[in-house]
Structure 1
Amino acid sequence: MVRDIHQYLAEFDDIPGTRVYTAARARQGYQLNQFAMSLMKDENRQRFRADEKAYLDEWAITDEQKQAVLDRDYNKLLDLGGNIYFLAKVFSTDGLSFVQAVSTMTGMSVEDYQAMMNAGGRSPAGQRSIRDKN
């Protein structure tokens, strides 16, 4: 049986909180991720910190992506093609650890998020399907 890969990957959109990094997302976020990777260089981090908007304007990213960076809306950035490993350069530039940044994506405090992860992660109960909640 041959399945359409795009239809198959679209099924993952039904899982709450899940964003599969597909080829389509990679294409959408290419420049966004290039911007994030530029922050590996100290000179670029300094320029970004000095004037975030001006630095972002140097990149061929959408206004929506720029605003999501300025808002530090990591969930939105993932939706717009950001790769979490590249976006780590953004929150690292802000002096945040991975745990601190990711806790903001869950709406939990750092302490609650860390305790949840240390206890084995989020329970899958009620997290299987968006469609089933309608």
Structure 2
Amino acid sequence: MSDDDLHDIPGTTVFTGEQTRKGYQLNQFCMSLRSAANRKRFLSDERSYVDEWPMSEAQKQAVLTRDWNAALAEGGNIYFLAKILATDGTSFPEAASIMTGVSVEEYTAMMIAGGRSPQGLRSIREGR
């Protein structure tokens, strides 16, 4: 499977080696939130705290605006981004509903029913 194939999956950011390198500092920032003292510092002045990290401005904005899809696109790994969710008291279903554009109830029901249907648009290139 080529990189082009990985980028052809609608609605999916595949966490490749390239994404790992791109998101390294963003994910390190997220890991800093394991510490209660760092969570307190972050929540008291978010901009100042993210500015301590050598992230791109796009990564910082994704964090500050809690734009989870942008954070993924900027190399964030959902397991690391979960540290921000926990800091905010946001559940994963709440974040996933924001990311997918459906209500928490709709998202939860979909997951209980087995997840998204594999039917439908499976290729960005073929959907054009």
* 1:91 equivalent in alignment to 2:88: no
Q: How far apart, in 2, do the equivalents of 1:32 and 1:77 lie? A: 8
Pick from 55, 62, 67 the counterpart of residue 61 of structure 1: 55
Q: How far off is 1:127 after superposition? A: 2.8
Q: Extract unaligned runs of 5+ from structure 2.
A: none
What CA RMSD, in Å, does the superposition of the two structures yield over aligned residues?
A: 1.0
Mapping of residues 1-134 of structure 1, within 5 Å = 8-134=2-128
Other structure's SS at 1:14 match: coil
Q: Can you list the C-alpha shifts for 1:83-117, whole angstroms capped at 9, x where unaligned? A: 00000001111001111111111011111100011
Cα displacement (A) at 1:68: 0.7
Measured against aligned partners, the alpha-carbon deviations of 1:36-58 in whole angstroms (never above 9, x if no partner) come to 00001000000000010000000
Question: Which aligned runs of 4 or more in structure 1 are off by greater than 2 angstroms?
Answer: none
Q: Is the 8 A contact 2:121 2:127 kept in 1?
A: no
Offset of residue 9 of structure 1: 2.8
CA apart distance, 1:13: 1.1
% identity of equivalent residues: 59
TM-score, length-scaled by structure 2: 0.96
2: CA distance, partners of 1:27 / 1:61: 12
